[in-house]
Amino acid sequence: MKLGKFEIVILLIALFAGLHFYNQSRLDKTAFENEHFSTFFYDEENPPVIVAFGDSLTYGTGARGDKIDMSYPALLSKLLGNHVINEGIPGETTDKAFTRLLGVLKKYRPEVLILCEGGNDMLRSRKPAIIKNNLKKMVDAALDAGTKVILLGVPEPNQFFLKDAKFYRKLAEESGILYLPNIFSDVLSYDSLTKDHIHPNESGYAIIAQKIYKVIKGESL
């Protein structure tokens, strides 16, 4: 059956409406299906040393300048009332990140590491197995140092429906660490929450900080 112009328009409207409500449901409530979520405990009287480690998504590209810092670590610091150290380096790849992380762990001796790396590797079309292996080396180094790890996934590029690369969940399951799925994928699905379709804007980072805050405080989403 051949569709007329009117039917095609209606079909496209229905498609985009469905996409909107699908993304909205993901944004409103991300599924944190990880048994380690319930064991995470935040001590108000003795707040932990928290390091946010990653690339431009951690640095705050899109919402950070000389006179403003609306990165998610800065916003998370305000929510917690506890300084979150921002160790984000724009453009960093996982091989270079591993070497840098060893120095960061030694310098700060963090009790919590929020890890978000891999996006630049994917943009360079590096094999998922290589990215996953580099991330695993970072996770292992943190765990060996007695640091709890919260893993943030990054969406695969060139996807119509943004979702995290599959190796993030696999890594979390194999390493027994807390994984927050699609935390960036959900935000980057909305033009109103992005600066350049790769980085969130201030509103986007605020949503990310709020979600991480709830997890760290042991609140359900």
Residue range 170-190, pLDDT digits in tens: 999 999 999 999 999 999 999
Give, in words, the CATH class of 31-216: alpha beta
DSSP 37-53: GGG----SSSPPPEEEE
Question: Model pTM greater than 0.95?
Answer: no
CA end-to-end span of the chain: 45
Pairwise CA distance, residues 180 & 193, whole Å:
19
The residue behind tokens 């998504």 is: 57
18-73 tens-digit pLDDT = 444 444 444 444 444 444 444 566 788 899 999 999 999 999 999 998 889 999 99
Helices (H), 34-162: 56-59, 72-80, 94-108, 119-123, 128-144
CA 137 and chain centroid, separation: 18
| pLDDT at residue 77 is higher than 60 | yes
Domain ranges of the chain: 1-30, 31-216
